[in-house]
């Protein structure tokens, strides 16, 4: 199957713990993104990566970290420094070689709850 796979779908974390959300894609897209979604606030960008071994902070990067060691993978770590991590997290990809729209494609999301 082609697409974007996020795991786990549901994750519970105790306060003070770091957790890592996985995002894997087999679309051969260069760019990958992490968004956070809270009710009534739409999507906010956490980090994005245009190529392997390079990534940029988005609007709300504090308390998060990422790596891009492989084109297919862009894991997101939610650290204990993130004050309010309970949210729905969406991974997305984009084919930067597409001259006709640069569409972003989304995974199914991961729910993170801090308990």
User: Where do contacts with another protein occur on this chain (CB under 8 A)?
Assistant: 4, 33, 40-43, 45, 48, 50, 58, 88, 90, 94, 99-109, 111
Give the shortest CB-80-to-another protein separation in angstroms. 26
Our CB check for another protein shows the closer of 4 and 21 to be 4
Six token digits for residue 12: 């519970």
Give the shortest CB-22-to-another protein separation in angstroms. 15
Distances (CA, A) of 93 to 20, 23, 30, 54, 85: 18, 10, 7, 15, 22
């Amino acid at each position: 199957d082609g697409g974007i796979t996020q795991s786990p779908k549901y994750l519970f974390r105790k306060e003070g713990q770091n957790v890592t959300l996985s995002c894997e894609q087999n679309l051969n897209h260069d760019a990958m993104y992490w968004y956070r979604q809270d009710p009534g606030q739409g999507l906010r960008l956490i980090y994005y990566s245009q190529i392997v071994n390079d990534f940029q902070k988005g609007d709300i990067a504090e308390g998060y970290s990422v790596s891009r060691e492989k084109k297919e993978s862009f894991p997101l770590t939610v650290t204990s420094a993130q004050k309010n991590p309970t949210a729905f997290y969406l991974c997305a990809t984009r084919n930067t070689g597409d001259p006709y729209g640069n569409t972003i494609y989304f995974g199914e999301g991961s729910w993170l709850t801090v308990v």
